[in-house]
Amino acid sequence: MPKKGTVVAALIASATLAISMTGCMQATTGSSAADCTPEWNFETIEKGKLIVAAVGTLPYVDIRPGSSEAGGIDGSFYTEFAKRACLSVDFRSLGGPAAVAAMTEKQADVAAGGWYATPERAKSIGQTSSVWFNYNGIVSSAGLGTVDSLQGKTVGVVGGSVYVAPLEAAISSDHVKQYQTADAILQDLKAGRIDAGVGTAVEMGYQVKARNESNLKVVPLESDEKYPELTQGGQVNFPHTKDNTALGQALEDYIKKIQSGGTVQKVLAEYGADDAKYTKQQ
């Protein structure tokens, strides 16, 4: 899920996962195999390795301890990008606010988690063109489907996400409860401790389906001029260290290739986002 935050370096988790790239690198050492020719040349924080600050929530990214791969939409994209660049991958599981700190403090090259590109984030991190387009939604047992329907309700949202400030402005901060993950929101929603949750429709829909919560409904928000920040959705991009121009250019080239080659559509469809609106240029 999309994140923004302050410097909270102490939140950075120590758990990491090396991803093995068959025939292109040695995952345990991060050094490139002699027969691998990279599609791009750029420097990384650690030579031979792409460090990914990963906010671990499906369908965006799933770090699997003890495994040689990371699941999720961004997990697939970054694994393939690193393979083409002849790099090993180090997915580092972080809480939301720590991901920006990891990039600004040169502890991560890129970030994973379905990040929206915003003017505020552009001040401290690099952002690419849109990879795909996401839409916001409300999850509840009552089928709530508008921001006005949340008035007077207790609403869960992931802390540090782009939804916190506009949601507090719309329904008051007293009615907004912040959580570490979407899964935690759904747990409290099921237990009746909150009335609804706000997040991306793709993530909420995936989580509800994965938990077999047939009593919960996810309603995508229609554009509402009264609440543009909550209802217009966002452009999902690949955030990266701001001053690494060569990395940014490589990511831009990669985006063009996976869009034109159908990879974006294929990966999104695997996680339930198969509607054409998710890849339609806006």
pTM for the full predicted model? 0.76
Radius of gyration of the chain (CA): 19
Largest CA distance in the chain: 62
Angle at 13 between CA 8 and CA 16, to 5 degrees: 140
Sequence-distant (≥ 6) Cβ neighbours of residue 256 within 8 angstroms = none
CA distance 166 to 81: 34
* DSSP assignment string, 141-191: SS---SSGGGTTS-EEEETTSTTHHHHHHHH-GGGEEEES-HHHHHHHHHH
CA distance 148 to 137: 13
Is the Cα dihedral 108, 35, 29, 26 positive or negative? positive
Query: Helix (H, G, I), strand (E, B), or coil: what is residue 132?
Result: strand
Q: Which helix (H) or strand (E) holds 197?
A: strand 196-200
Identify any residues that bridge with 235 across adjacent strands, giving them in sequence order.
Answer: 133
CA distance 123 to 250: 21
Pair of tokens at residue 246: 């060569």
Burial of 259 (0-12, 13-18, 19+ CB in 10 A): middle
| Distances in whole angstroms, Cα of residue 257 to Cα of each of 80, 119, 131, 137, 206 | 12, 25, 11, 30, 26
Pair of tokens at residue 29: 């050492």
Sequence-distant (≥ 6) Cβ neighbours of residue 22 within 8 angstroms = none
Distance of CA 71 to the CA centre of its chain: 12
Nearest to 273 by CA among 260, 262, 264: 264
In tens digits, the chain (282 residues) has pLDDT values of: 554 443 333 333 333 333 333 333 333 334 445 689 999 999 999 999 999 999 878 899 988 765 556 899 999 999 999 999 999 999 998 866 788 999 999 999 999 999 999 998 999 999 999 999 998 999 999 999 999 999 999 999 998 888 899 999 999 999 999 998 888 999 999 999 999 999 998 999 999 988 999 999 999 998 899 999 999 878 999 999 999 999 999 999 999 999 999 999 999 999 888 888 888 765
CA distance 37 to 263: 21
- Half-sphere CA count of 113, side-chain side, radius 13 A: 33
CA distance 20 to 39: 18
Q: Which helix (H) or strand (E) holds 273?
A: none
Q: What structural domains and CATH numbers belong to the chain?
A: 9-132+236-274 (3.40.190.10), 136-232 (3.40.190.10)
**The predicted structure's pLDDT at residue 138:** 97
CA distance 220 to 204: 10
How many CB atoms are located within 10 Å of the residue 240 CB? 23
**The predicted structure's pLDDT at residue 35:** 85
**The predicted structure's pLDDT at residue 28:** 33
